[in-house]
Amino acid sequence: MTDPHVADHEQGAVAARPATGLLSRINARIARAGMYLSVSGLLLIVTVVFYQVFGRYVLNSSPTWTENLALVLILYVTLIGAAVGVRDAGHIGMDSLLVMLPEHAREKIELVIHVLVAAFGVAMAYNGWILGASVGTVKIPNLGLPEVVRYVPLIASGVLIVSFSIEHIIALLRGEEVVPSWN
């Protein structure tokens, strides 16, 4: 036995046509590239940490740069991956209450949610810019890179979240659905 509200919501999601506008096509390519970069970064983190462990326990000479590089890579992987999750609706949501609402109320609340997520993306990008500018001349120990490289993924993720949220808002207003980039 199925809940009629859930069945209505699922039928509405199936009935929505896929978003095919220019922004959707651009965002789909960016999201796919972001996924590939995140997976590549994750593999690089595994390689760097493996090298650190190998150096420490086999060579008895742990490389000093590996820990800082792994930490920087984690920022890129998680923040870019989170932005892609916003576009592909892979983030945590409370749909159980939302599906019980009538269609017109659900669409309005979804619109508000996407506007709030976009505002969060603006805050991420803005504050990442401010923080990055404040440490622009400082170097990361053992890497020699400027400290600002730690804030680039925060800014990029914020900008991507804004773009992906705008795409969702446009799709909602047009009665369309954003197709996940892995399809």
Dump pLDDT digits (tens) for 52-74: 999 999 988 888 899 999 999 99
Q: Is 11 inside a domain boundary?
A: no
Which amino acid would we find at residue 15?
A
Q: Is 182 inside a domain boundary?
A: no
Q: Is 94 inside a domain boundary?
A: yes
Q: Is 147 inside a domain boundary?
A: yes
Give dist(CA 115, CA 105) in Å, integer.
15
**Three-class SS state of 33:** helix
CA 31 to chain centre: 8
Q: Is 67 inside a domain boundary?
A: yes
What is the tally of structural domains in the chain?
1
**How does the average pLDDT of the chain come out, rounded?**
86
* pTM of the shown model: 0.83
- Surface-to-core class of residue 34, CB atoms within 10 Å of its CB (0-12 exposed, 13-18 middle, 19+ buried): buried
Q: Is 2 inside a domain boundary?
A: no
- Read off the pLDDT band of 92 (50, 70, 90): low
Domain residues for the domain of 110 are 19-177
Q: Is the dihedral of CA 128, 131, 137, 138 positive or negative?
A: negative
Average the pLDDT over 150-172 and give the result. Answer: 95
Q: Is 151 inside a domain boundary?
A: yes
The CA–CA distances, whole Å, from 183 to 28, 88, 179 equal: 10, 10, 7
- Read off the pLDDT band of 19 (50, 70, 90): confident
